Amino acid sequence: MLSLIADLLEREIGLSLECIGEDALRSAVTRHMRDRGIFDQARYIDALSSREFAEELIELVVVPETWFFRDRKSFDFLGSYVGREWLGACRADNLRILSMPCSTGEEPYTIVMALLDAGFPLERIQVDALDVSPKLLEIAKEGVYGPSSFRGKNLAFKQRHFQPAGEYFSILDSVRSRVRFLKDNVVGQDAGSTLGQYDIIFCRNLVIYLAQWARRKLMGLIDRLLTPEGLLFIGHTETMAFEGGGFKKNAGSGLFVCKRPQDKEESRIQVQSHGVGKPLRVKSAVQAPRVRPSTKNPGPLEESGRSGASGETYYQCALQLADQGKLIEASRACLEALGEAPMHLGANFLMGLIFMEMRQEDEAAKYFEKVIYLNPDHDQALDYVATIEANRSNSMRADRLRQWARRIREK
Ligand SMILES: C[S@@+](CC[C@H](N)C(=O)[O-])C[C@H]1O[C@@H](n2cnc3c(N)ncnc32)[C@H](O)[C@@H]1O
């Protein structure tokens, strides 16, 4: 029974049994069965097919451990970084930060407190904070905390940013007002779909619990959400996972901050050697739209099957038309397919190819980006976006995407 439940949790939230451990899972399941008065294993498995019931189990399995100023060095660094980059450079824009995942809110509130303590103006701070657990998010919005949220010796921030609430402490409204809490599943189909880009992302103490495919999906999400020059704060034990995902940890020891690799010379050479701007023949590329669904996660092609036969029929028709070189007609059929099934991986990819052939790279990029969003392992789409980025003189991103595509092919 445990392995069935582990599969479900991995599918739903990317959780790896190896990482949380069998004992932790067994005790969560035992507690859930007891709370729900179900003592028969088959009945319990049956009940898990209900979304609400499965979400109850997810609430019991996630690890909510967090506290204010967890890894203080990171927040000291954040304060000095914004002092240099924003205040020193007189930047006029707001500072956008994402805390993903945020658990009960200590991390996003700490970000606001650290920025205020560094002299950053309150009204220019925008923090989005997301988590998969509605229960934890409720606690976060409430903003009332007990002793386990205040650890370590240096607790002077408590006097500045909290007010007593009985035996507890309530975060000041001014701090609370800068954080927007959102429910989101970082490995879900629509992960981050409502979010823009961020100057800084905190993604700490989540990747360690995730299966390989879920890690890759998370890296793809961060790549999409982080501005090219953006900073990524990670947990102490997570350096290898993020470096494998194309980020580079700050050379300074004891600091867990990453950036994208900045080696311009290297990226210039690699971009040139890939034949930037070479026209691509739709016909040959379309005949074999190569998609590699990741090992355990059902790939988006399978998911597209759910969206009805007519989307698939239009797509097949679009493929034939593209094969005959009838690109306008093919694009119409493809748009019909996408009207029926917007997440259809093949149709999005084909639209990208058609626009490439028509030399409309900006349009092509939109579709290829969507393909990557749907399947971060789509090496062909990664290569196309790399080519487009290189043509836009965005050699750093081009280089990163190519490296990523190469890593996928080598796997
Ligand atoms: C250990 S906490 C990390 C909190 C904070 N970042 C920190 O480092 O203190 C891990 C959080 O990840 C959340 N989580 C687990 N799987 C998730 C998923 N697939 N999407 C979003 N959040 C997830 C859990 O609900 C939990 O709140």
| Whether 110 and 162 share a structural domain | yes
Residue 67: inside a domain, yes or no? no
Closest by Cα among 260, 266, 262, 232 to 247: 260
Predicted pLDDT at 261: 74
Please provide residue 185's backbone torsions phi and psi, each rounded to the nearest 5 degrees.
-105, 115
Residue with tokens 């595509």: 405
- What is the Å distance from ligand 1's center to 131 Cα? 6
Number of structural domains in the chain: 3
Residue 107: inside a domain, yes or no? yes
Whole-Å CA distances, 33 to 41, 50, 63, 64:
9, 14, 19, 21
Residue where a domain terminates, one of 218, 238, 260: 260
| Whether 251 and 291 share a structural domain | no
Whether the ω angle into residue 293 lies within 30 degrees of 0, i.e. cis, is: no
| Whether 131 and 159 share a structural domain | yes
Residue where a domain terminates, one of 240, 260, 280: 260
Closest by Cα among 134, 186, 136 to 12: 186
Predicted pLDDT at 207: 93
Mutation to probe ligand 1, out of 10, 12, 74, 103 (largest number of atoms < 8 A from CB): 103
Atom of ligand 1 nearest to the CA of 66: 9
CA angle 360, 300, 235 (to 5 degrees): 95
| Whether 130 and 175 share a structural domain | yes
Reduced to 3 states (helix: H, G, I; strand: E, B; else coil), residue 62 is coil
- What is the Å distance from ligand 1's center to 143 Cα? 17
Considering only CA atoms, which residue is closest to atom 15 of ligand 1? 62
Considering only CA atoms, which residue is closest to atom 24 of ligand 1? 62
Give the residues surrounding ligand 1 with Cβ less than 6 Å away.
13-14, 62-66, 70, 101, 103, 107, 131-133, 136, 185-187, 204-206, 235
CATH number at residue 293: 1.25.40.10
Atom of ligand 1 nearest to the CA of 99: 6
- Separation CA 150–CA 171 (nearest Å): 12
A 10 A CB-CB count for 64 gives: 14
Report pTM. 0.67
Considering only CA atoms, which residue is closest to atom 16 of ligand 1? 13
| Whether 345 and 221 share a structural domain | no
Residue 396: inside a domain, yes or no? yes
Residue 165: inside a domain, yes or no? yes
| Whether 255 and 371 share a structural domain | no
Complete DSSP assignment for 294-348: -SSSPPHHHHHHTT-HHHHHHHHHHHHHHHTT-HHHHHHHHHHHHHH-TT-HHHH
Predicted pLDDT at 185: 97
Residue 228: inside a domain, yes or no? yes
Residue 100: inside a domain, yes or no? yes
Residue with tokens 């194309």: 246
| Whether 84 and 121 share a structural domain | yes
Mutation to probe ligand 1, out of 19, 20, 62, 73 (largest number of atoms < 8 A from CB): 62
Bridge partner list, 168: 165
| Whether 316 and 406 share a structural domain | yes
Helices 379-391 and 395-410, packing angle to 10 deg? 160
- What is the Å distance from ligand 1's center to 149 Cα? 16
Give me 52's structure tokens.
Answer: 């609400």
The secondary structure of 118-167, three-state, reads: CCCCHHHEEEEEEECCHHHHHHHHHCEECHHHCCCCCCCHHHHHEEEECC
| Whether 97 and 237 share a structural domain | yes
Residue where a domain terminates, one of 260, 295, 319: 260
- Separation CA 386–CA 276 (nearest Å): 9
Residue 384: inside a domain, yes or no? yes
Predicted pLDDT at 273: 23
Residues of the chain with pLDDT under 70: 251-253, 262-309
Q: Which domain holds residue 333?
A: 271-410
| Whether 87 and 197 share a structural domain | yes
Please provide residue 188's backbone torsions phi and psi, each rounded to the nearest 5 degrees.
-75, 165
How many residues would you count in the chain?
411
CATH number at residue 228: 3.40.50.150
Predicted pLDDT at 340: 81
Atom of ligand 1 nearest to the CA of 65: 1
| Whether 138 and 251 share a structural domain | yes
Give me 393's structure tokens.
Answer: 């003189």
- What is the Å distance from ligand 1's center to 62 Cα? 7
| Whether 79 and 209 share a structural domain | yes
Mutation to probe ligand 1, out of 181, 206, 222 (largest number of atoms < 8 A from CB): 206
Residue 266: inside a domain, yes or no? no
